[in-house]
Chain A
């Protein structure tokens, strides 16, 4: 529950951030943060590793674009349609994937998402390899014009905070406790009489719907939807975001999204700096090869930094507390620690 106090300054920061940063970049961060929060609901709080979340993110993006551009409907309907679509394919993929456990679950989600990717590749309205271009932002409730970046930023922020709160509520509800039980020891959860599969599928659908909301928002913000968002590299990206931030922490996905989006944006500059520092021309190509940097980050995080930024932070604080308790600086009773939030 530590985060409860910490959340207010962060919200204030988010409110004033567009004064200092480009709002579209901030919105991109928010969309990826929401995507990662949705993903974290599965991996961090239910213990299921989905490698197919790009299907929900990218698919909802296309549907939202279709609703806005080809049907000419409003912003909120686009988000609604995208989210609904993601939830619907979430039901199908989830239903198939939970039939197997562990590593097989992961491979099934990956394969089914790839199948959906091929559908987008061939569907008439997605524009194939060129992507779906020129998606208008539309209006909110038919009144507010969303071409104003600042207005859209606050709306996306509201969407994000609402979803973030929803995830918080889910995890701390009795339902969330069952999910934690499944993560901890599935066999025992079954033997206690919980129909584990029902809980898993519900968690999967909730996660896919929120991932869809993130994808739909991203299409509105950027004004286009592409195959990149539906490809399995994107499923890998959201894993990386969550891993860098900290699996199973509430604030991790946000920190991860900031780090990864910033890295992607500054990669060219970084490459130029390294090239001039080491006089190796090869570094100039760094901008084009995000995958090298992503791959390195993956390997580093898995081998040496499994808790992620927020997880590591929590761990250090906890250890300091423990030491103080040991030294008698904190009263044993009041010093009892909550488990990692």
Chain B
């Protein structure tokens, strides 16, 4: 079967690859949005912490014999603890200053992390095999789709929607939204806002690390895997606007799909299509698709 001279199989597999990338974009931009909402810091280290998650998964397997499933739980926790340390020792000193200092500080942390991992592991990628449980593929009629990729899309969607549910529908989420709106008032009501901020940063970067572990068998694990990704995720955030949780999830997935389709129809543009979409959105709707004004 062919559509526009392109086989359906190729189209479907690229669509799935696009969705896989899109779910990484969604998880990363979601974390960025939550962190920005409460901390007013754009976390430039997000890509590096995503890389750290993947590297930890690899290290866990190769040094301690911990399998994929153990690291899927452990790596985000370790990175979250690391994030809490960063927040406590560095970022918390910068909240009173201009936003740009938070960005520059996390940029420095990103360089530092990438540099340290690179000094030990070089720039070449380390292979990380798919866990046995998810090896192989599922037949969907016209073709076989790899199980692991389906799992990545399903798992990240689940995590994103759970996050959305907690933030929009629970009491904890209510505090959080209130803290984004007016931290002083929330503090006056007896909520420990500084602790909430710390935990949210830990949660956001933990999400990035989870995406990293999920990505480990898909892409090769290398110290540089997060450095270009973070720029794309920034563009995703600009397109979606950081006002809405559901908005960042949808934007992330949609851009992944657009990227996948570009790879089918016009591969030369696949690396830049997200930025082109960003430029168009800025011209048509400067506040972003889900943004609320400036």
Q: Which residues of A contact B (CB under 8 A)?
A: 43, 49, 96, 99-104, 106-108, 110-112, 114-115, 118-119, 121-122, 232-233, 236, 239, 243, 282, 285, 288-299, 301-303, 306
**Which listed residue (B36, B113, B268, B278) contacts A111, Cβ 8 A?**
B278
Contacts of B278 in A (CB 8 A): 108, 111-112
Chain B: minimal CB distance from A52 (Å) = 10
**Does B103 belong to the interface (CB within 8 Å)?**
yes
**Which listed residue (A101, A111, A118, A299) contacts B294, Cβ 8 A?**
A101
| Given A121-B271, A289-B116, A291-B115, 16 further pairs, Cβ under 8 A | A49-B103, A99-B286, A107-B234, A108-B238, A111-B231, A111-B274, A112-B278, A112-B279, A118-B271, A291-B114, A291-B118, A292-B119, A295-B108, A295-B110, A299-B90, A303-B90
Known: A114-B228, A298-B108. A292 touches B286 (CB 8 A): no
Question: 25 interchain pairs (CB within 8 A)?
Answer: A99-B286, A100-B282, A103-B42, A103-B100, A104-B238, A108-B282, A111-B231, A111-B238, A111-B278, A112-B275, A114-B228, A114-B232, A118-B271, A121-B271, A291-B114, A292-B112, A294-B108, A295-B108, A295-B111, A296-B112, A297-B108, A298-B104, A299-B90, A299-B109, A306-B101
Tell me, in angstroms, the Cα distance from A118 to B228 when the chains sit together: 11
Docked-complex contact A303 and B105, CB < 8 angstroms:
yes
Contacts of A291 in B (CB 8 A): 111-112, 114-115, 118
Contacts of B94 in A (CB 8 A): 302-303
Chain A: minimal CB distance from B249 (Å) = 19
What residue in chain B is nearest A111 (Cβ atoms)? B235
**Which listed residue (B42, B105, B286) contacts A298, Cβ 8 A?**
B105
Docked-complex contact A236 and B107, CB < 8 angstroms:
yes
Interface class of chain B by DSSP? helix
Docked-complex contact A292 and B272, CB < 8 angstroms:
no
Docked-complex contact B275 and A111, CB < 8 angstroms:
yes
Chain B: minimal CB distance from A44 (Å) = 12
**Which listed residue (B109, B114, B119, B271) contacts A285, Cβ 8 A?**
B119
Chain A: minimal CB distance from B247 (Å) = 15
Tell me, in angstroms, the Cα distance from A101 to B118 when the chains sit together: 35
Docked-complex contact B109 and A106, CB < 8 angstroms:
no
Chain B: minimal CB distance from A73 (Å) = 30
What residue in chain A is nearest B111 (Cβ atoms)? A295
Tell me, in angstroms, the Cα distance from A296 to B105 when the chains sit together: 9
Tell me, in angstroms, the Cα distance from A110 to B104 when the chains sit together: 13
Q: Which residues of B contact A (CB under 8 A)?
A: 36, 42, 90, 93-94, 97, 99-101, 103-105, 107-116, 118-119, 228, 231-232, 234-235, 237-238, 268, 271-272, 274-276, 278-279, 282-283, 286-287, 294
Tell me, in angstroms, the Cα distance from A114 to B272 when the chains sit together: 8
Tell me, in angstroms, the Cα distance from A140 to B163 when the chains sit together: 63
What residue in chain A is nearest B36 (Cβ atoms)? A103
Chain B: minimal CB distance from A97 (Å) = 8
Contacts of A293 in B (CB 8 A): 115
Contacts of B103 in A (CB 8 A): 49, 103, 106
Tell me, in angstroms, the Cα distance from A121 to B232 when the chains sit together: 17
What residue in chain B is nearest A119 (Cβ atoms)? B272
What residue in chain A is nearest B97 (Cβ atoms)? A306
Contacts of B286 in A (CB 8 A): 99-100
Docked-complex contact B108 and A96, CB < 8 angstroms:
no
Tell me, in angstroms, the Cα distance from A197 to B114 when the chains sit together: 37
Contacts of A49 in B (CB 8 A): 100, 103
Docked-complex contact A292 and B111, CB < 8 angstroms:
yes
Docked-complex contact B115 and A107, CB < 8 angstroms:
no
Those 6 A-B pairs whose CB atoms lie nearest each other, nearest first = A298-B108, A295-B112, A295-B111, A292-B115, A291-B115, A115-B275
Contacts of A302 in B (CB 8 A): 94, 101, 104-105, 108
